[in-house]
Amino acid sequence: MTEHLLEVQGLQTEFKRGSGSITAVAGVDFHIKKGEVLGLVGESGCGKSVTSLSIMRLLKDTPGKIAGGEVRFEGTDLTKISEKEMRRIRGNEMAMIFQEPMTSLNPVLRIGVQLAEPIMLHLGYGRKKAREHAIHMLRLVGIPRAEELVDDYPHQLSGGMRQRVMIAMAMSCNPKLLIADEPTTALDVTIQAQILDLMKRLKEEQDMGMLLITHDLGVVAELCDRVVVMYAGRVVEEASVHELFASPQHPYTQGLIQSVPKMRQKVRRLDSIKGNVPDLSQMPQGCKFAPRCSFVMEACLVQEPKLLPIEGLKDRKSRCLLTEQGIRKEENRNEGDAIN
């Protein structure tokens, strides 16, 4: 058995556009260990949600497709198995909390019916036992009067309650891996804190791995063990959460952290990264972040850097020519020592 619960290698996802296609995810690599929380961060349009949908193989009814790479779950490449096998894994061993609970829940079905469906499918429970398990899950996620709310419709619940229902649904079959796509979006700060505390508690109780997709670095600091930063469909930095905030290496990561409002910050204007994420159909040559980078060099405009380990920093990677230059200096130094 591999030590990695999930291992993504060279994932490439394309979307058909006219007579051609555009690449939304370009060679993404990362892994998640059992019981580990990996944060996937970046601005909107960086490819975070497409990466999660690719992992779950939920691109079937879209113009998108996995064009290359591997997605290994407990050693099994999910890109190679049948849809029937994937349905057995999806919702049972792997589950997902979607970004918008109101659009993810069926508005014409009662909450209990929607919760009971995956329980009956994956756990083999009868209708009565599945309903009892659904009520238990609602209580587990902190919903009061669960035995009454189970017969409500989604529109009768607040945003925080709907998000709790989505978490209960995702957790109902005790998955080994949970993918949470912006789980606190559009919730007020009090409800956000409750949802984060709930996810942390459930993760610790069930020792599951988690992929947390967000643009909120505060959420990352609260929940994650390691972080992968994405930009324009590519991983640009990888580090432990402590190292990332203590010493961000990639200029994009530095810009993201600097743009977070600081307590008692006495400035008239908040920091921001100039420009926008590039259009996937009009990607710049060379480094994709070069048009927005404060450290851009002439070589950045023509040469796209590789994701490489950072000199002197353990288990850290960065996609930047400054990183490559540091590695080349170290290689030249080692060659010189060998000659001497």
Q: Which of the listed ranges 96-105, 162-171, 230-239, 324-333 does the model predict with the highest average pLDDT? A: 230-239
- Please tell me the distance from the alpha carbon of residue 38 to that of residue 6, in angstroms, as a whole number: 11
Length of the chain equals 340
The per-residue pLDDT for 340 is 38
| 164-175 burial: b if 16+ Cβ within 10 Å, else e | bbbbbbbbbbeb
**CB-based contacts of 184-190 (< 8 A; 24+ apart in sequence):** 184/214, 184/216, 184/219, 185/99, 185/100, 186/100, 186/159, 187/159, 187/160, 187/163, 188/160
The per-residue pLDDT for 337 is 44
**Residue 2 confidence class, pLDDT cut points 50, 70, 90:** low
Q: Greater confidence, 68 or 206? A: 68
| Arithmetic mean of pLDDT, 98-112 | 83
The per-residue pLDDT for 241 is 95
| Arithmetic mean of pLDDT, 129-154 | 91
Q: Among candidates 255, 61, 96, 261, which has minimal Cα distance to 176? A: 96
Q: Among candidates 207, 243, 250, 247, which has minimal Cα distance to 225? A: 243
Whether residue 30 contacts residue 8, with contact meaning beta carbons closer than 8 Å, is answered with yes
What does pLDDT average to over the chain? 87
β-strand partners of 319: 307
The angle subtended at Cα 48 by Cα 42 and Cα 53, nearest 5°, is: 170
**Residue 114 confidence class, pLDDT cut points 50, 70, 90:** very high
The per-residue pLDDT for 339 is 38
Segments in 79-145 forming alpha helices (H): 83-89, 101-104, 111-123, 127-140
pLDDT at 229 over 70: yes
Q: What is the pLDDT of residues 145-191, one digit of tens each?
A: 999 999 999 999 988 888 889 888 888 888 999 999 988 776 778 87
Q: What is the pLDDT of residues 251-306, one digit of tens each?
A: 999 999 988 877 665 656 777 888 888 988 889 999 999 999 989 999 999 999 99
Whole-structure pTM value = 0.87
